[in-house]
Amino acid sequence: MAEFTAKDVQRLRQMTQAGMMDCKKALEDTNGDFEAAAKLLREKGLGSAAKRSDRESSQGAVAIARAGDAVALVELKCETDFVAKSPDFVNMANDLAAAVASDGDAAAQQRADAIDDLKVTLKENIQLGQVIRYQAGPGNVIDTYLHVQNDRGVNGVLVELSGASQEVAHDVAVHIAFGRPEYLRREDVPADQVEAERATLEAQARNTGKPEAALPKIVDGMLNGWYKERVLLEQPFAKNDKQSVEQVLGGGDIVRFAQVVVGG
């Protein structure tokens, strides 16, 4: 039996980007010879993950899992939708979300070995994307929405509300999925973005021949419309566009929200 340590296996893995068990077996088969083990992995097609590491990972899957009062939203990225909807890939995304919900954010990174092994199995550049975990504050409710397409999640939402029911929280989660807000409140929008948009709108209004004295009011009106596209509380509610999301809350408050969209 060849003699080598776990560090030797890790070193070979870093050299080749092959899976842990494949590296261990290659070292066993070559009596601990690193160069021979790396050559053997390449010959078996197991050492080529590194060549894939610079490919764009624009596809993937989103998974949501709950453990007690904690909820996790995890994105796993790959190159093609063919791989993204494969059972092995979807199961990995689901496993990662379950681990994060149960054990915390670091649980996803702790499964880097399993992700690397999946790269080899599926022959694509697979990367961990966004990892988000919410734990409900006292008296708060968390709800989720996951839009599934071709057997994998493609649009996932978490939202935490205070002073509101679970039903309202779910309605808001569904709204976020399709409204795709960027910010919760108007005050959250960076000032430089607001000023740049104001300048653009003012130029547009002036170019249409609007009276100079009327420009401030016109621009404010146009800017309000711009906010409604980006700010969650000001968006027209998806189920009843006569009301804003803030009005639907009935005195409740949105504490925070997160959205992950594949390719977004």
Per residue in 40-59, pLDDT (tens digit) is 776 666 655 444 444 556 89
Q: Residue 53: its pLDDT value, please?
A: 47
How many CB atoms neighbour CB 216 within 10 A? Answer: 12
What is the mean predicted confidence (pLDDT) over 216-231? 93
Q: Mean pLDDT across the stretch 230-241?
A: 95
**Residue range 193-214, pLDDT digits in tens:** 999 999 888 888 888 888 888 8
Domain ranges of the chain: 6-47, 59-184+236-261, 190-230
CATH class of 6-47: mainly alpha
Please check the confidence at residue 30 and state whether its pLDDT lies above 90. no
* Fold assignment, 190-230: GTP Cyclohydrolase I; Chain A, domain 1 (1.10.286)
59-184+236-261 in CATH: which number? 3.30.479.20
Same fold, 59-184+236-261 and 190-230: no
Q: Is the Cα torsion angle 8, 12, 13, 19 positive or negative in sign?
A: negative
Q: Tens of pLDDT along 115-169?
A: 988 988 898 989 999 999 999 999 999 999 999 998 999 999 999 999 999 999 9
Phi-psi region at 102: left, alpha or beta (left = phi > 0; alpha = psi -120 to 50): alpha
pLDDT at residue number 43: 66
Report which of residues 250 and 65 the model is more confident about.
65
